[in-house]
C-alpha cells in the first residue's frame, strides 16, 4: 500500500511539473539539488543578467521593515487583491531576473515546481489566447499561475535592495489537484542578484483518498536571522486494521546572510 501512496504523490508532483519538457528560463540552480540537505550555502557568483532597476522598483512601492513574519503576508494576500484591482504583476523577464542564484535545498523543492508552468502560462497570456487554452485544459494540468510583487524590505546596506514577491500555481478543481503559493526574497546589490530564497510555501494536492500538504514559514529578525519552520504531511493509506496512516515531518532551520550570500546553517 505504501507503494500506492508514493505513486499517487508522484502524480501530484507531475501536475505541477506538467510543463517539465519546456525550456526553463530559471538558472540551472533550479535543476541541481544539493545532496547534503542539512546545510546549503549559495556560493554562486551573481549571474550577469541586468534588469532595469527603475522599472522593477516601480512595481514595489510598498516598503516593509524587519522583523517580518511571513504568516502575516500570507494571511493578508494583499498582493493578489492589488492585482485584481489593476495593480502590478510580474512577467517572465522580471521573474527570470529575480529568481537568479536561487538557494538550493530539499525543504524548498516544492517552490521550484512552479517556474516551468509560470513561464509557459505567462507566454500564452502574452499572445491573448490564454482563456481558450484554459478551456482545452485537462485534469491534472497546471492551468493557473501568476507572479506578484509584494514589497521591498528596508535595509541599511548601501546599494542593496531586498524584494519580496510571490508566485501561485494551481490545477483545475478536480482530482488529481494541486494548489500552492510560494513567497520569495531576492537580494540585489549594484543591480546584480546575490541570492533568491523561498521564505514561505503553502501547498496542497491530492488524488482521493491520497493527499499531501507542505507548509514553510519564516521569521526574519532585525539582524536578518532567518528562523524557518518546515512541515510536510502525507496520507491516504490505511493499515491492516483500517486505520489511516499519516506521515508527518517537521524541521526547524536557521539561515543567515554571510558576505552577501544566503546560508542555511543548521537543521534541527
pLDDT digits (tens, 9 = 90+) for 34-70: 333 334 444 444 445 778 999 999 999 999 999 999 8
User: In Å, what is the CA distance from 22 to each residue of 18, 19, 27, 112, 136?
Assistant: 9, 5, 14, 14, 19
Phi/psi-derived region of residue 234, left when phi > 0, alpha when psi is between -120 and 50, beta in every other case: beta
Count of all residues that appear for the chain in the document: 268
Q: What is the distance of C-alpha 77 from the center of its chain? A: 15
| CA-to-CA dists, residue 261 to 102, 105, 222, 229, angstroms | 10, 14, 17, 20
Handedness of CA 17, 20, 22, 27 (dihedral sign): positive
Provide the whole-model pTM.
0.79
Residue 4 banded pLDDT, cuts 50, 70, 90 = very low
Tell me the backbone φ, ψ of residue 36, rounded to 5 degrees: -90, 95
**Domain limits, the chain:** 2-19+46-267
Chain segment 169-227, per-residue pLDDT in tens = 998 887 888 888 999 999 999 899 999 999 999 988 888 888 899 999 999 999 999 99
Amino acid at each position: 500500500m505504501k507503494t500506492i501512496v508514493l505513486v499517487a504523490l508522484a502524480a501530484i508532483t507531475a501536475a505541477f511539473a506538467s510543463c517539465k519538457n519546456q525550456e526553463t528560463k530559471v538558472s540551472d540552480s533550479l535543476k541541481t539539488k544539493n545532496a547534503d540537505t542539512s546545510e546549503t550555502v549559495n556560493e554562486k557568483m551573481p549571474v550577469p543578467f541586468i534588469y532595469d532597476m527603475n522599472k522593477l522598483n516601480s512595481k514595489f512601492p510598498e516598503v516593509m521593515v524587519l522583523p517580518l513574519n511571513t504568516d502575516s503576508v500570507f494571511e493578508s494576500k494583499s498582493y493578489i487583491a492589488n492585482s485584481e484591482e489593476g495593480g502590478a504583476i510580474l512577467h517572465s523577464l522580471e521573474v527570470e531576473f529575480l529568481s537568479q542564484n536561487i538557494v538550493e535545498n530539499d525543504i524548498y523543492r516544492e517552490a521550484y515546481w512552479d517556474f516551468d508552468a509560470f513561464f509557459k502560462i505567462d507566454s500564452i497570456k502574452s499572445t491573448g489566447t490564454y482563456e481558450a487554452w484554459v478551456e482545452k485544459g485537462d485534469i491534472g494540468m497546471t492551468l493557473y499561475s501568476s507572479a506578484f510583487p509584494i514589497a521591498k524590505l528596508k535595509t541599511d546596506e548601501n546599494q542593496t535592495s531586498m524584494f519580496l514577491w510571490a508566485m501561485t500555481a494551481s490545477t483545475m478543481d478536480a482530482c488529481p489537484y494541486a494548489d500552492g503559493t510560494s513567497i520569495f526574497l531576492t537580494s540585489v546589490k549594484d543591480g546584480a542578484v546575490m541570492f533568491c530564497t523561498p521564505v514561505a510555501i503553502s501547498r496542497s494536492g491530492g488524488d482521493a483518498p491520497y493527499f499531501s500538504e507542505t507548509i514553510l514559514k519564516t521569521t526574519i529578525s532585525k539582524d536578518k536571522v532567518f528562523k524557518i519552520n518546515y512541515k510536510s504531511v502525507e496520507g491516504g493509506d490505511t493499515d491492516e486494521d483500517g486505520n489511516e496512516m499519516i506521515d508527518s515531518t517537521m524541521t526547524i532551520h536557521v539561515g543567515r546572510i554571510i558576505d552577501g550570500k544566503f546560508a542555511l546553517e543548521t537543521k534541527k
